[in-house]
Structure 1
Amino acid sequence: MSDAHNEHESAIKTPKQLIAAVAAGFLVPIICIVLLVEYVTNAQKTGAGSESQTAEMITARIKPVADDGFTFRDSTAPKQLLSGEEVYKSTCAACHGAGVAGAPKVGDEASWKARIGEGYDKLVSHAINGLRAMPAKGGNPDLDDIEIARTVVYMANQSGAKFKEPEVKAAAPAAAAAPAAAPAAEEKK
């Protein structure tokens, strides 16, 4: 048999070299891991999630979803009437801006001529009660009749009419009568 098989020599010849090799076997991977962790954690973070623990981001996450896009109104407060243009933009423009389902386009004098010829009262009645494809009050039951009348005037005047905008009547005649009755009651005493 050949002695070449038993000629295997190790690079470690002394116990000191063995201790150094074992120490290097443990320390080199640990040092590599520590350096890698330092490299990853010290990088400037940008993008999604980098500011997730700021006070503003926490507040944005825990605020109620229902607060987005809604404003709370005091139901006991007097109603603020909208102008004809505001009602047109919020309710009527969807159909009367594009002529959807046969609705006359605002500004198209030809399509409004016959309607304007029927008169202001008839136009307001149709707007309040609905006509053919148009629902009553344009589908917004929260609108007052005066707001509908203002909107009819706005739309008709944009389309060639010369209607006068209706005036708002006194809010509560009974409320005005109550203070007048109080001095009369005091005079009787």
Structure 2
Amino acid sequence: MPKPATPWLSFALLAVLGLAGCGDDAAPPTASSAALAPSDPALAKIYDSSCKLCHANPASGAPQSGDAKAWQPRVAQGADSLLDHSINGFKGMPPMGMCMQCSEEEFLALISFMSGQPVQ
């Protein structure tokens, strides 16, 4: 009879599966992405609860907050494309980016913050 998995092993498996939805393009680590936060308290709260899991974790494959080089080709696609990807999901990004209550304006402000570039 097989031996049941230990609880910590189950937790580790769940953590890995949770990150699987974040993205699929490996990005180089950015030392300060985990410490970044929007200056607006309301956006900082949304970022912390919705965006940070993937955009401050190099293992996720998502473009890291503050990594302008990684964000440049995405920002070049324009606001409409970025909003579409945020709302409907894209590759490993879940629909609504785990922020079901976010408005289009909040998505654009968060993308501008994470990319370090104005989104138009």
Task: Give yes or no for TM over 0.5.
Answer: yes
Q: Cα offset for 1:147?
A: 2.3
8 Å contact from structure 2 (residues 111, 119) kept in 1: no
Aligned to 1:96: 55
Give the whole-Å Cα distance in 2 for the aligned partners of 1:147 and 1:109: 19
Aligned to 2:68: 109
- In structure 2, what residue type is equivalent to 1:115? R
Aligned to 1:143: 102
Deviations 1:151-173 (A, max 9, x none): 1222222xxx1337xxxxxxxxx
Q: Cα offset for 1:97?
A: 0.5
Aligned to 1:163: 119
Tell me the C-alpha RMSD between the 2 structures.
2.1
8 Å contact from structure 1 (residues 95, 101) kept in 2: yes
Give the whole-Å Cα distance in 2 for the aligned partners of 1:141 and 1:119: 22
Q: Cα offset for 1:89?
A: 1.7
Give the whole-Å Cα distance in 2 for the aligned partners of 1:102 and 1:95: 8
8 Å contact from structure 2 (residues 86, 96) kept in 1: yes
Identity %: 30
Structure of greater relative contact order (alpha carbons < 8 Å, 6+ residues apart): 2
State TM-score, norm by structure 1: 0.37
Structure index of larger Rg:
1
Give the whole-Å Cα distance in 2 for the aligned partners of 1:104 and 1:126: 13
Give the whole-Å Cα distance in 2 for the aligned partners of 1:84 and 1:163: 16
Give the whole-Å Cα distance in 2 for the aligned partners of 1:121 and 1:140: 18
Q: Pick one of 91, 114, 117 that aligns with 1:132.
A: 91
Q: Cα offset for 1:142?
A: 2.8
- In structure 1, what residue type is equivalent to 2:118? K
Give the whole-Å Cα distance in 2 for the aligned partners of 1:110 and 1:128: 23
8 Å contact from structure 1 (residues 83, 147) kept in 2: no
